[in-house]
Amino acid sequence: MCANRKYLTRTTIAVIAILAGLLVPANANAYSHFKRFPSTVWGNLYAGDGGGKHLSGTTFAGAHLDAKSTFQVTYSNFPEWAKKEVQAAIDVWSKYYVSKVPIHVEASWIRPRDPRILGSAMPVDYFAGFPGAPDATLWYPSALANALAGTDLDTKNPEIVIQVNSTRNWDQRGDGAPTTAEFDLQSVFIHEICHGLGFLSTDSYDTNPLSQTYRLGKIVRPTAFDAYAQMPDGTRLADMPSPSYELGKAMTNTLVWSGPIGIKANGGIKPLLYSPSEYDGGSSVSHLDEDTFSSSGKDSVMTPSLNAGEAFRDPGPLALAMMDDLRQKPPVGIAIALPQNPQNQAALVGDKSAVITFDPPANLRAAQISSYIIKNIKTGQTTNAAESPVLIPGLKNGQSYTFTVAAKNSLGISEAVPTNVVIPQASWTPTIFDPTADGLHIVSTNFRGQPAIVYTDSVKGILKLALWNGKTWKKISVDGRGGSGGKTTHDVSGPISACVGGIGSSQVLHIFYTDLEDNDLRYASFDNTDFSFEIVDGNGPTVLSYEQQNRVRSANNVSISNACAVTAAGVQVFYRDESQGILLGAVKPQSAQKGQWVYEIVDGDRTTDNRTTGDVGFHLKAVAVGSDISVLYDSAIGPIVQKVIAQGEIRLATRTSISKSAWKYATLDKSDSATAVVGYEISLNKTLAGVIAGWLSSSPTTTPKPNQLRWANLNTPTTINVIKPGNYGLPGSPMSVDYKSLAFGCGTRICSADLNTTTQSPTIKLVTNSLRSGYLQSDWVTINKIRYMIASVDGKLSFLKP
């Protein structure tokens, strides 16, 4: 694999799909809505005025620890001697910082505009609301967000950017003993990596006396660091009005760290942060106090300046403790106002229950909400909750209920705002199919006259196959976490597809699946007796540009999505190239030998021939009808604001042979004045009534969250049917369609819409009642003429029957 391939992306398609379901992280459990914004604030380290005291190779608790994380550095203009100093700093941090997700650093050797600066660093992005976030209202820098989520939330960009002053007098000997006229580069990188990992506020302050906003402080998106930085009275920077002169005053007065781990490391005293009366951009708030800690030896690393001759070989116990605080949920701050009303409150259909959803009040930070009070108007019963959604049990199916929602803090309670009327209904009966596998990725097909189900186990990192013989199921571990004969030891619990070729007893099952560690597309064929394994793409020698039309096996990231189909001409698989934002294809002709794939670009590379330059294939499906191949996929297009997709399309590519020039393209649906985004999730299935395609869309008032389901029969593709889930909740994953129903995620449950009813008011049924986020896929399977949905329910692969 090429370590740098995540950066080799078209600048014209610099899209990060953070919309619901558009981003497909490597970790299957990480599918969820979350927000992101690019970082703009640097943490600087300045050259000190005095001579430094050399700490002769001093190391602390982590000196002989095994690495807990992996850092990968991309250098720009760096001399060779400096790379060695950087690597030494990387080796130090890898022993302390815990993350199973590699941390990518871009390091540049530059001439800064301010010659006093030794080095500067910042995270590339901040994320909020991702799975694993200790506080969903706060923002976390890239590396920390990835560590907490357990997956790379942005595979296209590095996590940290560091710049070093090329003009300073550096100790180039690598001896860790700079003279009093030399600066130690390893110390600078230990300091700057700490900023990049999260030891940094996102505050800003107007220092221009001629400005109308002079001394105005601003924190637009408070981070976990801002939540732990507080005034002596306990008021957190994260909770203060922004922009405001009140915040500006706090940033230029005494500030302390309130994290319990940091306080313990500082002898039980709240560590003092650097907040001089004259704000110092890049230094104020984001460092330990210079006067207090500059002479403290082991805890001097994160002060705002480094003296010549000063050398450190460890972040120090206090900085490490503060970094550990950032992984915890900060304590609630001081309420300075009564709560305003909760927003967007709604009651969703449940089984003998209702799900109450709401957004926090507009003054969430100033009010410091301690809980929400849900009241059942019919019974008078109240329920206290910390956040949305809230399951209200003990109701009767078929009866009407209304609820109110109020926010509470230490000063009082807001007005109780009413929800809509909701009528609970029975959900479907689940039967556990595989109690040891969560089955977040699922695909079913018919193989040699009987149902076959291919699914993943994300806990064990394996791929499994279940075969029905008419009476019982035979479950087989296909690949992952060990084995020989072409199998891999890696985690293969990512996206999958399956298709069947041949007839009768000569049928072969073709399975395509993902190596989540190498980001490769793998292939297994099964003849009902033996498996044969190979890698289709991703393990090539180099990353290929989207401009290279003559495709060969590449080192690109092909782990995001895949879909396969089989015709008499051969096996075809289509997959997203995450490195370039394009849709690729690989064909194994009927007469080809093992490993003989013919590669092509299907779409996303140009605007000629009815193609698009949109960022394509976040989700895709393929079906074969005779010699005809249909590939359905989503495409992000149009203007991008803060890397949020503003427009999208649903595209269809078809051909009747395996020729690269035979493709024909159509846009089934696209954004317009009434539809903000089209895409999010898709489904495609060959039925007796024709090939049915389904997808999601959002209106301008709900973006980036989808609020509609759309579907069309490809026999009449211009006729688009619309389904509005109403009281069942916003639609999302999983999504699967067959000849009768369109299954979809509904407010963290699963629902099903009857396609045989009128498109204006189709019958919607509640399938599952569990408040579980992270549903990825579902599918339909018929066993002995009985139709079931198969999906993950409470972490176990289950059958569901009406």
Residue whose entry in the numeric block shows the structure tokens 């005809």: 628
**Better pLDDT: 774 or 385:** 385
Q: Is the pLDDT of residue 697 over 50?
A: yes
Q: What residue ranges do the domains of the chain occupy?
A: 33-325, 341-420, 673-768
The reported pTM is: 0.74
Phi, psi angles (nearest 5°) of residue 443: -150, 140
Mean pLDDT calculated for residue range 18-30: 31
Residue pLDDT, tens place only, 531-589: 999 999 999 999 999 999 999 999 999 999 999 999 999 999 999 998 888 999 999 99
Beta carbons of 502 and 508 less than 8 angstroms apart: yes
What pLDDT was estimated at residue 197?
A: 97
Q: Give the integer Cα–Cα distance in Å for 426 and 650.
A: 34
Residue 151 has pLDDT above 50, yes or no: yes
Q: Are strands 354-359 and 343-349 parallel, antiparallel or unpaired?
A: antiparallel
- Strand 442-447 and strand 450-457: the pairing is antiparallel
User: What is the 3-class SS of 351-390, one letter each residue?
Assistant: CCCEEEEEECCCCHHHHCCCEEEEEECCCCCEEEECCCCE
What confidence score (pLDDT) does residue 802 get?
83
DSSP line for 593-608: -TT--EEEEEESS-SG
The residue ranking higher by pLDDT, 23 or 609, is: 609
Give the three-class secondary structure for 23.
coil
Section 604-627 average pLDDT: 93
| pLDDT the model gives residue 134 | 94
Residue with tokens 């060779």: 80
Please report where in the chains the tokens 């990188």 appear, as a residue. 189
Tens digits of residue pLDDT in 369-414: 989 999 999 999 999 998 899 999 999 999 999 999 999 999 999 9
CB 141 within 8 A of CB 222: no
Q: What is the pLDDT of residues 318-332, one digit of tens each?
A: 999 999 999 999 987
β pairing state of 749-754 and 764-766: antiparallel
pLDDT at 20 over 80: no
3-state secondary structure of 82: helix
Pairing mode, if any, of strands 628-641 and 615-625? antiparallel
CB 612 within 8 A of CB 10: no
pLDDT reported for residue 8: 35
Which pLDDT value is given to residue 342? 95
**Cβ contact 574:631 at 8 Å:** yes
- Residue 774's pLDDT is 57
Instruction: Tell me the CATH class for 341-420.
Output: mainly beta
pLDDT of residue 677: 75
Integer CA distances (angstroms), 459 to 440, 480, 492, 765, in order: 10, 11, 11, 30
Q: Dihedral of CA 640/641/644/646: which sign?
A: negative
Percent over 70 (pLDDT), the chain: 92
Exposure b/e, 166-186, CB count within 10 A at least 16 = b:
eebebbeeeebebeeebbbbb
pLDDT, tens only, 118-143: 999 999 999 998 889 999 889 999 99
pLDDT in tens, 228-283: 999 999 899 998 888 899 999 999 999 999 999 999 999 999 999 999 999 998 89
- Neighbouring residues of 80: CB distance < 8 A, sequence distance ≥ 6: none
- Rounded Cα distance, 704 and 698, in Å: 7
Asked if 160 contacts 105 with a C-beta cutoff of 8 angstroms, the reply is: yes
State the pLDDT at residue 638.
57
DSSP category for residue 578: T
Which residue has 């800690």 as its token pair? 293
Q: Are strands 204-205 and 417-418 parallel, antiparallel or unpaired?
A: unpaired
Q: Is 484's pLDDT higher than 50? A: yes
Helix (H) or strand (E) holding 84: helix 80-96
How does DSSP classify residue 667? Answer: E
Buried b (16+ CB within 10 A) or exposed e, 261-295: bbbebbeeebbbbbbeeebbebbbbbbbbbebbbe
Q: How far apart are CA 714 and CA 446, in angstroms?
A: 22
Angstrom distance (rounded) from CA 546 to CA 600 = 11
pLDDT of residue 525: 97
- Distance of alpha carbon 137 from the chain centroid: 16
